Amino acid sequence: MYLASHTRPDISFTVNLLARFSSCPTRRHWNRIKHVLRNLQGTKDIGLFLSNQSKEDLIDLADAGYLADPHNARSQTGYVFTCGGTAISWRYMKQTIAATSSNHAIILAIHEASRECVWLRSVIQHIQEDCGISTWKEDPTVMYEDNAACIA
């Protein structure tokens, strides 16, 4: 769980899904867990690197899956924030409110991503103030979302 939430965004979805079966895993779940571990072993030299040469724009990519969990009638929210092209914050979670449409699920996902955005901008500003860096621009954060359901 630590790797998925702090260092490896590429396994976040799979670990989130497998964690739902931790109280009663089947052989199929164990095989998927072993697959994730083999993937981690084979990609242990891959990491997240922040470059001082890249643009420092904070960008959000968010999406929602309407009724992605049909057993509980819940949709999924996923988002990732990048700074300088490197993922610095990400989350994949089951929505706490039952969305009534794909449009509603997307709005809930944007809401969660917006809350994270406010917190991230505050953290970045405090870090830069503490380090005496005044290069943070007050430009708005760009948030990308596949909103075809909102347009239709």
Domain count of the chain? 2
On whether both 41 and 57 belong to a single domain, the answer is: no
Q: What is the pLDDT of residues 58-108, one digit of tens each?
A: 889 998 988 876 677 788 898 999 888 888 888 888 888 888 988 899 999
What does the pLDDT average to over 130-141? 73
CATH number assigned to the domain comprising residue 69 = 3.30.420.10
What does the pLDDT average to over 33-39? 89
On whether both 94 and 129 belong to a single domain, the answer is: yes
On whether both 151 and 86 belong to a single domain, the answer is: yes
Q: Are 16 and 33 in contact (CB under 8 A)?
A: no
On whether both 8 and 79 belong to a single domain, the answer is: no
pLDDT at 43: 85
On whether both 38 and 113 belong to a single domain, the answer is: no
* CA dist., res. 75 & res. 64, Å (int): 7
**Structural domain span for residue 33:** 1-47
